[in-house]
Amino acid sequence: MTSKSCSDTPSADQLMALDNQLCFALYAANRAVTARYRPLLKELNLTYPQYLVMLVLWQQDQSVQSPKVSELGQRLRLDSGTLTPLLKRLEERALVNRTRGTDDERVVRVCLTHSGRLLRAKAVSVPERLMCGVDVEPARIASLRGELRNLLEILERVEPSEQ
Amino acid sequence: MTSKSCSDTPSADQLMALDNQLCFALYAANRAVTARYRPLLKELNLTYPQYLVMLVLWQQDQSVQSPKVSELGQRLRLDSGTLTPLLKRLEERALVNRTRGTDDERVVRVCLTHSGRLLRAKAVSVPERLMCGVDVEPARIASLRGELRNLLEILERVEPSEQ
DNA sequence: TACAATTATATTGTGCACAATGTATTTTTG
DNA sequence: CAAAAATACATTGTGCACAATATAATTGTA
């Protein structure tokens, strides 16, 4: 007998099978979920990443200061190359204002406009309506969400040592 | 007492909190995982979606017939608008051949070239190396993958009735 | 206080995703 | 068999993602 049994060392074929990869499951599930959001967000005229930005802004609307672009980026794990044009489109639609800082002229703070705040009322029904007609127990959703956050946290913790 | 307790009916604020949404957990985890693939795939000069296409082609290389573009699309849940330019780029790099069907001139079949087949040898180490230095038990990965496939299956089953 | 290093955002370019539309080729139907 | 419907890709346009680079402002340092 060798030190490891067959079940311990899957073949290269098995390791490379599409359906055995976490990456593809994540990739496909993510697109299936965003596809489910799409018709709901279309009613708000928002894309999915734009909706995420609005969620952050709605959540922090009570804060003393509007978030910087970099703070939105940290929260959503997006860089300025993604956020800058996205925020400009939201600004064109008068949902947000981008204002250059007075003390530090490098920073841009993003705050909601009146219509941006109003849009929240139309968005509150989205989370409930999303899983309408989909037979999944809320507890399983919550557990899956927890597992994904755990994975994300571990991956982000490891990065600094690698690379 | 009302018919439902507070814990049964979370507030709109709670429902709309970014961290309470499955969608964001999926979105962020997916990008974190693909970011982990990126340096490994750069050694093969493949993007992540290109890698997924190659995985399908490597897996089906023994098949009697090469897959159609539409079959790749079904497998990966991608449409021709995504696949056509991606496959053209793989063809430019001489990893695949795209050949118009002889019997049915509408279909395009995609097969591996010699170098496309050779590239597999360089790719076999990717799955193992991916989670190197990341402290997650394989069993948890497998379970998460199962949950995601389950979710995907449910979402795809529901679609036809809705929309 | 000059000047180097750092910080925060913007710009450019490539490659997905996906909706909408176009085009050529079957297949079905009257 | 001809016209209509369906099929399979291709094209176009918009909006992310992200790498690489640029620009401007601030901070640290000799």
- CA gap A119, B81 in Å, rounded: 32
Structural tokens at position A100: 């250059």
Query: Is residue A34 domain-resident?
Result: yes
Q: Is the CB of A31 under 7 A from strand C?
A: yes
CB contact A136 to B (< 8 Å) = yes
* 8 A C-beta contact, residue A18 and residue B75: yes
Query: Is residue B84 domain-resident?
Result: yes
Q: In the prediction, which pLDDT does B14 show? A: 86
A75 and A114, same domain (yes or no): yes
User: What is the 3-state secondary structure of A17-79?
Assistant: CHHHCHHHHHHHHHHHHHHHHHHHHHCCCCCHHHHHHHHHHHHCCCCCCCCEHHHHHHHHCCC
Long-range Cβ pairs for the range A109-116 (8 Å, 24+): A109/A65, A109/A66, A109/A67, A109/A68, A109/A69, A110/A57, A110/A66, A110/A67, A110/A68, A110/A69, A110/A72, A111/A57, A111/A66, A112/A57, A112/A58, A112/A61, A116/A54, A116/A57, A116/A90
Q: Taking residues B154-163, what's their average pLDDT?
A: 67
A131 and A147, same domain (yes or no): yes
Q: Taking residues B31-36, what's their average pLDDT?
A: 96
Q: Do A34 and B23 touch (CB under 8 A)?
A: yes
- For A44, other C-beta atoms within 10 Å of its C-beta total 16
- B98 φ, ψ (degrees, to nearest 5): -110, 120
Question: Does B7 or A56 have the greater pLDDT score?
Answer: A56
Q: What is the pTM of this model?
A: 0.90
Q: In the prediction, which pLDDT does A160 show? A: 55
- Total CB pairs under 8 A between chain A and B: 174
Structural domain total, chain A? 2
- CA gap B35, A40 in Å, rounded: 29
Long-range Cβ pairs for the range B94-98 (8 Å, 24+): B95/B54, B95/B119, B96/B57, B98/B69
Q: In the prediction, which pLDDT does A31 show? A: 97
Mean pLDDT of chain A: 90
Buried b (16+ CB within 10 A) or exposed e, B28-42: bbbbbbbebbeebbe
* pLDDT band at B160; cut points 50, 70, 90: low
Closest residue by Cα to residue B58 from A7, A14, A24: A14
The strand pairing partners of A31, in sequence order, are: none
Query: Is residue A76 domain-resident?
Result: yes
- CA gap A160, B26 in Å, rounded: 22
B118 and B41, same domain (yes or no): yes
* 8 A C-beta contact, residue A68 and residue A83: no
The enclosing domain of B103 has a CATH number of 1.10.10.10
Q: CB under 8 Å to A17, separation ≥6 — which residues? A: B55, B59
Q: Which of chain B's residues 66-95 bind strand D, using a 7 Å CB cutoff?
A: 68-70, 73, 80-81, 83-85, 87
The pLDDT of residue A162 is above 70:
no
Query: Is residue B134 domain-resident?
Result: yes
- pLDDT, one tens digit per residue, over A101-122 is 999 999 999 999 999 999 999 9
Q: Taking residues B27-44, what's their average pLDDT?
A: 96
CA A6 → C1' D13, Å?
51
The strand pairing partners of A111, in sequence order, are: A97
Query: Is residue A115 domain-resident?
Result: yes
Question: Does A3 or A70 have the greater pLDDT score?
Answer: A70
B146 and B72, same domain (yes or no): no
* pLDDT band at A15; cut points 50, 70, 90: confident
- pLDDT, one tens digit per residue, over B90-138 is 999 999 999 999 999 999 999 999 999 999 999 999 998 998 878 888 8
- pLDDT, one tens digit per residue, over B133-156 is 788 888 999 999 999 999 999 999
Q: CB under 8 Å to B65, separation ≥6 — which residues? A: B109
Give the sign of the dihedral formed by CA A130, CA B150, CA A54, CA B48: negative
Residues in chain A: 163
- pLDDT, one tens digit per residue, over A46-72 is 999 999 999 999 999 999 999 999 999
* 8 A C-beta contact, residue B90 and residue B50: yes
DSSP character for A66? P
A35 and A60, same domain (yes or no): yes
Smallest CA–C1' separation from B100, nucleotide:
D9
Q: In the prediction, which pLDDT does B13 show? A: 83
Strand D positions closer than 7 A to protein CB: 7-13, 15-20, 24-27
- pLDDT, one tens digit per residue, over A68-106 is 999 999 999 999 999 999 999 999 999 999 999 999 999
Mean pLDDT of chain B: 90
Quote the domain boundaries for residue B129.
Answer: 125-158
* pLDDT band at B162; cut points 50, 70, 90: very low
Query: Is residue A5 domain-resident?
Result: no
B140 and B67, same domain (yes or no): no
B67 and B141, same domain (yes or no): no
Query: Is residue A3 domain-resident?
Result: no
Closest residue by Cα to residue A141 from B90, B46, B150, B7: B150
